[in-house]
Amino acid sequence: MSEPERKELAHLPVLADEVTFLLRPRHPGWVVDGTVGMGGHSERLLDASGERVRLLGLDADREALGRAGRRLARFGDRVVLRQGSFRRLAALAAESGVEDAVAILLDLGLSSHQLDASGRGFSFKGGEPLDMRFDPMSGQTAAELLNHLSVEELARVLANYGEERHARRIARRIGERRRVAPLATTDDLVLAVKEAVPRRAWPHRVHVATRTFQAIRMAVNEELEALTEALPQATQLLARGGRLGVISFHSGEDRIVKRSFRALQHRGEHVEVEPSPVVPGPDEIRHNPRARSAKLRVLERAVAA
């Protein structure tokens, strides 16, 4: 086995124990992993379930599907993988013969491979092209967004998606730099942020460009819009007694999930399994600092109307 393959198999997804405990199917049927990524959560759920539980794994990233396929190969025809965004959850499920699901998971975080090795500019490392698309075959790139949005629109993106305090300063500096030459690499964007934010205001625990990169990635992939569209489809797809789990890493995502779940509870057909979001413990955060902002909310569809 190659070193990359060993790393894939060693990958531990965020809140793996909690997801397995709360979403493990209690009856035969389909599990839908709307963000299958490297297959870590799916593997845990299948291992914890009987042979009559099958999995539909979706991902907009074709590379991720390949990695998930290798990880889940031992489950044979219990696994069906499809390329596509979870904002098309209902259509992709129908095309795959899934009429309802005993469990659905949406993990809204990036995989370690996307951050560290995809070469698409998700992190600040090494002068990668400013792409940031989950599906490299469709949509505008981060470079196109950065070089064509007005300074005012860029400031709104950085403030709304990244909650960046210095959004206006960064947007203005991007505007100044692109008048000289278009932004093309992650180094270009990092330099613009560093020039815009006063050195005394740089955060101590994270990179100064973290919020900017997050904001641009979320805008490129329309992540909040996709989540808003996916949640009603997911709750409709749930079987009676089925559970929907959503892991968010951004306050805007968590607000959307919280409001959606609370609205469904008021209608009486669904109930939140935990009154507060489940968060990683100190041991998990110590071993995986990227997990520190994760929040898991779980909703169950009532057995009887």
Where are the domain boundaries for CATH 1.10.150.170 in the chain? Answer: 135-220
- Predicted TM-score of the model (pTM): 0.91
Residue 262 CA to residue 84 CA, distance in Å, equals 28
Model confidence at 2, in pLDDT bands (50, 70, 90)? very low
Q: What is the pLDDT of residue 8?
A: 45
The model's pLDDT over 25-55, given as tens digits with 9 standing for 90+, comes to 989 999 999 999 999 999 999 999 999 999 9
Q: Is residue 266 scored above 90 in pLDDT?
A: no
Place of tokens 């625990």: 205
Mark out the alpha helices in the chain (DSSP H runs): 3-10, 16-23, 40-47, 62-71, 89-95, 112-116, 142-148, 151-162, 167-180, 186-196, 210-220, 223-237, 251-267, 282-287
The dotted CATH code for 3-113+223-301 is 3.40.50.150
The rounded radius of gyration (Å) of the Cα atoms in the chain is 20
258, 298, 226, 44: CA torsion to nearest 10:
150
Where are the domain boundaries for CATH 3.40.50.150 in the chain? Answer: 3-113+223-301
The answer to whether 283 and 12 are in contact (CB under 8 A) is no
- Mean pLDDT is lowest, of 131-135, 257-261, 272-276, for 272-276
The total number of residues written for the chain in this structure: 305
Which position has the higher pLDDT, 303 or 208? Answer: 208
Q: What architecture is the 135-220 domain classified under in CATH?
A: Orthogonal Bundle (1.10)
The model's pLDDT over 201-255, given as tens digits with 9 standing for 90+, comes to 999 888 999 999 999 999 999 999 999 999 999 999 999 999 999 999 999 999 9
The model's pLDDT over 158-193, given as tens digits with 9 standing for 90+, comes to 999 999 999 999 999 999 999 999 999 999 999 999
